[in-house]
């Protein structure tokens, strides 16, 4: 019975046709492998099935739950795909390092503020139990569910990501090269779990580069080539040769070389296991993450000062191209000074230099002043290679240069590399394609467990020999601990937060400071409080406490108001909080009190709602309008200041009974204290819903949250709205304190700086994901106490400004250091 049917699916990204015509049928109860070279469209297909991308053409049909006929589906996002029963595990390990394993496992299940309910939902009490079950099945033993996910090993983190998908009880499980980060034992347990799923009538779409894994688990294999599905084979017919022929289109990847290769020249670069000679091409091979990546990177530093080395990095988007710049500017990046005449760059000269490479590398472009992003991946890569060659290197280091480029461009690159080697260049090339090694290399270093383990000369190079070396001698294979203890590329990108068991007191204190972000500002505030009392004994008296709370309330509320947007990450920062609370105070003074509306039951809700509404507009601009947060809130800053000034060109004064007591005491309690307690209690209440956790997960890793099914824009927008509501309270606080509303920019501007500074001082990193409202309150208290102390010591208020600036830099530096030391302790 067909569970999932894909028909003639197509998808383009700009000039690149990632998927042309993909057809695939997934039967109930089977493990279906998907194979293809890099760039054949596997990832695009997965992203369409998982709801990330929408296809340009074609149909997807999914069988209903009760065995009904497949009906067309068009998932509008990961959440919809997961709800329809399709769960995906991506190659890039998706986890939120700062959150607990348990939180990571259930991420995306709940709604924004309401927990998941209904027939299929797992009640909160059973979640721990289910989590233990799933992780035990995958890992043999269950790790500490309350430990931060960042403290786990790479393999364990991937197991958590797989567990997240399994907990959703999918009918279709997609594993997109999800096994490359797993150790062997975990992989075998995953396969057992897959069998269990297919036994229940589900099916698995399994993507892997490893032929052995495909042989072990797959029932059928579909092969993709250049965005088209070229065939589906039963397992018994899917031998390596047939698969390779299908993947490469039958033709030989590189025309077999007939002419004799030149004898290699002098040694140019010596490293462990490699004496690189002029004129040779050396391949670096091995399973993913066996240390070849690090080795290649280290080679660059090992060259003698006199040797010219050029390198082409692996990640084209992040490490190679400059997206907004033109093709020509991308080309000249490493050789800027060559075009300089008397210090000025000559465009003509750059154009001339590029024209030579353009011809030689067959780069297909319109004008060299067009942005590089108008080119297809293959042509972009050729420009990057041209950039490396422009420096006349003696050694060229390439990291999987044909990754994700079409077959024609590949041929061009191979031909070029041969020519270059013939002219005396020494080339080291890491490749994930076995055929590239067979056709191109003079010798190949095979990596296992972090080091070169074998070397194959050209005359020894066969597919069998190479694949055998990938896994090592048979005797060792059982003892192989897998890629677990060797650093893979993912490992570097996913931070380790802390060691599971810090021993020394200092290490424990450092961990506490990292996990409880408010501890450091709390200690600082306490010390400053003592210093203040020592400098000015009257500070402890009751009437000065009332004043203190009235004075601290506004900046502290402004700081708390800035916090939710920052926690949500993605550069979320709301610099319009200060003008917002000033605007609210103008609304209160001019529109309400000025018109005789003075009841607390009207004024307070209006203030909070106005704040929340404007916060929501900010959130919508940033998250749905895709404006940069600084830009959107800068505009809001202007607009709000403008409205405030329009309604209150001069300070508008006025107060009423309850507002006056809010500035002093209400029923014996300082009004400022009440105002500060309200958002803290509300936040505490929200902490009992999924919202706060989800917001921090979004801030910690937006892609993880998104692929887990969290409605990222909605969560973030709600964060902005909550911040706005707190700013509404700040508007009440300033009106209660001053009995007037003032919209002058000289009055407003310092608060903008103050609010963000207090958040940073409060231990919340501006990159988001961690932190608390309470920390921001403490940060504001620290600033107030510093200024008060300097005032008590009769130091000019200008000096206190300088001291507060220096404190801020020190605090931010300290926070960066602790976060780093927590991360790097291994």
- Identify residues 707-726 at the interface with other proteins (CB under 8 A): 707, 712-713
Q: Which helix (H) or strand (E) holds 527?
A: helix 519-535
502 by Cβ neighbours in 10 Å (0-12 / 13-18 / 19+) ranks as middle
At closest approach, how far in Å is the CB of 698 from other proteins? 10
Residues 230 and 205 sit within 8 Å (Cβ to Cβ): no
CA 150 – CA 496 distance, rounded (Å): 5
262 vs 795, which CB is nearer to other proteins?
A: 795
CA-nearest of 453, 443, 89, 428 to 270 is: 428
Site mask, other proteins, residues 42-71, x = CB under 8 A? -----x----xx------------------
Q: Does 697 bind other proteins (CB under 8 A)?
A: no
Longest dimension (CA), the chain: 98
Selected from 528, 546, 573, 577, the binder of other proteins by CB under 8 A is: 573
Round to the nearest angstrom and report the end-to-end CA distance of the chain.
Answer: 50
Binding mask 524-563 for other proteins (x = CB under 8 A): ----------------------------------------
Stated as kind and residue range, the H or E segment containing 670 is strand 669-670
322 in contact with other proteins (CB under 8 A): yes
Host H or E run for residue 276 = strand 274-277
Cβ distance 447 to 286 under 8 Å? yes
Query: Least separation, in Å, of the C-beta of 341 and other proteins?
Result: 10
Chain-centre distance for alpha carbon 173: 23
Query: Residue 154 or residue 632: which is nearer to other proteins going by CB?
Result: 632
Q: Using CB under 8 A, which of 119, 260, 359, 798 touches other proteins?
A: 798
CB of residue 147 to other proteins, shortest distance in Å: 26
d(Cα 483, Cα 612) in Å, to the nearest integer? 50
Near other proteins in 334-353, by CB under 8 A: 334, 336-337, 340, 343-345
The secondary structure of residue 287, as a DSSP letter, is S
Q: Is residue 365 involved in binding other proteins (CB under 8 A)?
A: no
Give the H/E segment covering residue 277.
Answer: strand 274-277
Listed ranges 57-65, 288-296, 605-613, 644-652: which one lies at the site for other proteins (CB under 8 A): 644-652
Q: How far is the CB of 181 from other proteins (least distance, A)?
A: 17
Give the nearest distance from C-beta 801 to other proteins in angstroms. Answer: 3
Separation between Cα atoms, residue 358 and residue 761, nearest integer Å = 53
Query: Which residues in 288-317 contact other proteins (CB under 8 A)?
Result: 311, 313
Would you mind telling me the total number of residues written for the chain in this entry? 826
Of 34, 587, 645, 692, the one binding other proteins by CB under 8 A: 645
Q: Does 273 bind other proteins (CB under 8 A)?
A: no
268: contact with other proteins by CB under 8 A:
no
Q: Which stretch binds other proteins (CB under 8 A): 441-449, 655-663, 706-714, 719-727?
A: 706-714
DSSP code per residue over 314-379: S-IIIII--TTSBHHHHHHTT-GGGGEETTEEPHHHHHHHHHHHHHHTT---S-TTSBGGGS-HHH
- Closer to other proteins at the Cβ: 509 or 630? 630
Of residues 802 through 821, those in contact with other proteins by CB under 8 A are 802-806, 808-809, 812-813, 816-817
| Short-list 396, 44, 57, 4, CA closest to 202 | 4
Q: Verify binding: residue 703, other proteins, rule CB under 8 A.
A: yes
Question: Cβ distance 390 to 332 under 8 Å?
Answer: yes
Q: Could you give phi then psi for residue 711, rounded to 5 degrees?
A: -80, 85
Residue 665 DSSP SS3: strand
- Nearest approach in angstroms of CB 799 to other proteins is 4
Site for other proteins in 646-675 (CB under 8 A): 646-647, 649
Least distance CB 9 / other proteins (angstroms): 16
Task: Write the CA distances from 722 to 113, 725, 783, integer angstroms.
Answer: 13, 5, 24
Q: What is the DSSP string of 699-728?
A: HH-HHHHHHTT--HHHHHHHHHHHHHHHHH
> Rule CB under 8 A: is residue 366 a binding residue for other proteins?
yes
71-90 residues near other proteins, rule: CB under 8 A: 77, 90
Per the CB < 8 A criterion, the answer to whether 728 and 609 are in contact is yes
* Binders in 195-254 for other proteins, by CB under 8 A: none
The CB-of-807 to other proteins minimum distance in angstroms stands at 8
The only residue of 188, 196, 370, 476 in contact with other proteins, by rule CB under 8 A = 370
Q: What is the smallest separation between the CB atom of 556 and other proteins, expressed in angstroms? A: 18
Q: Smallest gap, in angstroms, from Cβ of residue 586 to other proteins?
A: 10
Q: Which stretch binds other proteins (CB under 8 A): 261-269, 283-291, 365-373, 440-448?
A: 365-373
Spatial contact of 152 and 183, defined as CB atoms under 8 Å apart? no
Cα separation, 513 vs 521, whole angstroms? 10
Contacting residues for 416 by C-beta, under 8 A, at least 6 apart: 360, 361, 385
Q: Which residue, among 780, 719, 790, has the nearest Cα to 750 in the 3D structure?
A: 780
Identify the CA nearest to 577 among candidates 445, 731, 472, 771: 731
Nearer to other proteins, 147 or 333 (CB): 333
Please identify, using beta-carbon distances, which residue of 323 and 687 lies nearer to other proteins: 323
Q: Which of 756, 763, 14 is nearest to 380 (CA)?
A: 14
**For other proteins, which is the closer residue by CB, 453 or 586?**
586
Which of these segments, 419-427, 552-560, 703-711, 722-730, binds other proteins (CB under 8 A)?
703-711
Enter the DSSP assignment of 587. Answer: I
Nearer to other proteins, 125 or 343 (CB): 343
Task: Give the interface size with other proteins as a residue count (CB under 8 A).
Answer: 86
Let me know: does 577 contact 723? Beta carbons within 8 Å.
Answer: yes
Residues 90-109 that bind other proteins (CB under 8 A): 90
The footprint of other proteins on residues 745-764 (CB under 8 A) is 745-746, 749, 753, 756-757, 760
Q: Hey, which residues between 125 and 144 contact other proteins (CB under 8 A)?
A: none
| Binder among 325, 531, 673, 674 for other proteins (CB under 8 A) | 325
Edge to edge, the sheet with strand 70-73 lists 70-73, 57-63, 2-13, 16-27, 228-234, 220-225, 31-35, 203-207, 172-176, 86-89
CA distance 611 to 581: 7
Q: For residues 150 and 670, which CB has a smaller minimum distance to other proteins in the complex? A: 150
Binding of other proteins at residue 332 (CB under 8 A)? yes
Q: Counting contacts by CB under 8 A, is residue 479 touching other proteins?
A: no
The only residue of 103, 293, 412, 702 in contact with other proteins, by rule CB under 8 A: 702
Give me the least distance between CB of 822 and other proteins, in Å please: 15
Alpha-carbon gap, residue 447 to 450, rounded angstroms: 7
Q: What is the spatial distance between Cα 95 and Cα 149, in angstroms, rounded to a whole number? A: 7
Closest approach of other proteins to the CB of residue 706, in Å = 6
Q: Taking CB under 8 A as the rule, which mask of x and - marks residues 608-637 in contact with other proteins?
A: -------------x---xxxx-xxx-xxxx
Among 165, 532, 655, 800, contact with other proteins (rule: CB under 8 A): 800
Question: Would you call 148 helix, strand, or coil by DSSP?
Answer: strand
Instruction: Select from 426-434, 469-477, 505-513, 640-648 the region that touches other proteins (CB under 8 A).
Output: 640-648
User: What whole-number distance in Å separates Cα of residue 651 and Cα of residue 670?
Assistant: 25
- By CB under 8 A, tell whether 642 contacts other proteins: yes
Residue nearer to other proteins on the CB measure, 44 or 290: 44
Q: How far is the CB of 345 from other proteins (least distance, A)?
A: 5
**Footprint (CB under 8 A) of other proteins, residues 381-400:** 387
Does 741 contact other proteins by CB under 8 A?
Answer: no
Phi, psi of 639 (to 5 degrees): -65, -45
């Amino acid at each position: 019975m067909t569970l999932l049917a894909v028909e003639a699916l197509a998808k383009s990204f700009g000039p690149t046709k990632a998927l042309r015509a993909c057809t695939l049928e997934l039967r109930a109860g089977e493990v279906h492998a998907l194979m293809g070279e890099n760039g054949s469209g596997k990832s695009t297909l997965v992203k369409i099935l998982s709801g990330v991308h929408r296809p340009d053409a074609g149909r997807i049909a999914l069988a209903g739950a009760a065995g009904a006929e497949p009906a067309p589906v068009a998932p509008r996002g990961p959440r919809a795909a997961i709800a329809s029963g399709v769960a995906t595990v991506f190659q890039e390990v998706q986890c939120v390092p700062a959150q607990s394993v348990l939180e990571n496992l259930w991420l995306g299940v709940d709604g924004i503020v309401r927990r998941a309910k209904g027939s299929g939902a797992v009640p909160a009490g059973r979640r721990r139990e289910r989590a233990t079950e799933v992780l035990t099945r995958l890992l043999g033993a269950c790790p500490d569910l309350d430990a931060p996910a960042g403290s786990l090993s790479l393999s364990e983190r991937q197991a958590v990501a797989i567990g997240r998908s399994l907990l959703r009880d999918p009918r279709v499980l997609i594993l997109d090269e999800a096994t490359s980060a797993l150790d062997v034992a975990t992989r075998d347990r995953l396969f057992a779990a897959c069998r269990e799923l297919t036994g229940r009538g589900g099916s698995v779409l399994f993507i892997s580069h490893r032929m052995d894994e495909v042989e072990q688990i797959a029932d059928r294999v579909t092969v993709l080539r250049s965005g088209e599905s070229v065939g589906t084979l039963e397992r018994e017919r899917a031998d390596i040769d047939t698969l390779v022929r299908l993947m490469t289109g039958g033709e030989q990847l590189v025309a077999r070389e007939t002419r004799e290769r030149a004898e290699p020249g002098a040694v140019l670069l010596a490293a462990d296991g490699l004496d690189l000679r002029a004129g040779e091409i050396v391949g670096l091979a091995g399973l993913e993450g066996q240390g070849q990546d690090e080795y290649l990177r280290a080679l660059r530093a090992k060259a003698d000062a006199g040797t010219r080395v050029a390198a082409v990095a692996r990640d084209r988007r992040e490490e190679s191209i400059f997206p907004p710049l033109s093709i020509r500017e991308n080309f000249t990046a490493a050789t800027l000074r060559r075009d300089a005449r008397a210090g000025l760059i000559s465009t003509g000269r750059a154009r001339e230099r590029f024209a030579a490479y353009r011809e030689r590398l067959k780069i297909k472009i319109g004008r060299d002043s067009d942005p590089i992003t108008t080119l297809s991946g293959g042509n972009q890569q050729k420009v990057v290679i041209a950039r490396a060659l422009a420096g006349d290197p003696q050694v060229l280091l390439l990291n999987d240069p044909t990754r994700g480029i079409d077959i024609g461009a590949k041929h061009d690159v191979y031909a070029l590399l041969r020519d270059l080697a013939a002219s005396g260049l020494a080339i080291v090339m890491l490749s994930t394609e076995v055929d590239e090694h067979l056709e191109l290399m003079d010798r190949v270093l095979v990596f296992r467990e972090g080091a070169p383990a074998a070397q194959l000369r050209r005359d020894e190079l066969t597919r069998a020999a190479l694949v055998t070396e990938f896994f090592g001698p048979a005797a060792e294979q059982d003892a192989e601990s897998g890629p677990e203890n060797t650093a893979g590329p993912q490992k570097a990108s996913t931070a380790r937060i802390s060691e599971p068991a810090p021993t020394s007191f200092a290490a424990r204190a450092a961990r506490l400071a990292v996990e409880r972000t408010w501890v450091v500002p709390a200690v600082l505030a306490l010390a400053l409080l003592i210093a203040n009392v020592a400098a000015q004994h009257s500070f402890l008296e009751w009437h000065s406490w009332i004043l203190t709370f009235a004075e601290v309330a506004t900046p502290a509320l402004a700081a708390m108001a800035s916090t939710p947007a920052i926690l949500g990450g993605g550069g979320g920062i709301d610099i319009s909080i200060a003008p917002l609370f000033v605007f609210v105070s103008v609304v209160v003074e001019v529109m309400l009190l000025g018109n005789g509306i003075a009841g607390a039951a009207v004024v307070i809700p209006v203030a909070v709602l106005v704040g929340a509404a404007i916060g929501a507009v900010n959130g919508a601009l940033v998250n749905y309008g895709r404006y940069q947060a600084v830009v959107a809130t800068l505009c809001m800053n202007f607009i709000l200041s403008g409205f405030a000034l329009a309604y209150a060109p001069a300070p508008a004064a006025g107060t009423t009974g309850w507002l006056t007591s809010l500035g002093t005491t209400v029923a014996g309690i300082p009004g400022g204290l009440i105002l500060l307690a309200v958002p803290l209690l509300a936040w505490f209440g929200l902490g009992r819903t999924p919202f706060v956790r989800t917001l921090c997960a979004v801030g910690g890793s937006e892609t993880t949250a998104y692929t887990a099914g969290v409605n990222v824009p909605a969560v973030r927008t709600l964060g902005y709205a909550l911040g706005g509501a707190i700013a509404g309270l700040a508007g009440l606080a300033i009106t209660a304190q001053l009995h007037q509303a003032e919209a002058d920019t000289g009055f407003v501007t310092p608060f903008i700086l103050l609010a963000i500074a207090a958040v940073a001082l409060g231990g919340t990193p501006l990159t988001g994901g961690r932190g608390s409202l309470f920390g921001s309150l403490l940060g504001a208290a620290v600033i107030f106490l510093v200024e008060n102390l300097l005032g008590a010591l009769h130091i000019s208020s200008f000096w206190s400004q300088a001291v507060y600036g220096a404190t801020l830099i020190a605090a931010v530096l300290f926070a960066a250091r602790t976060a780093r030391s927590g991360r790097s302790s291994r």
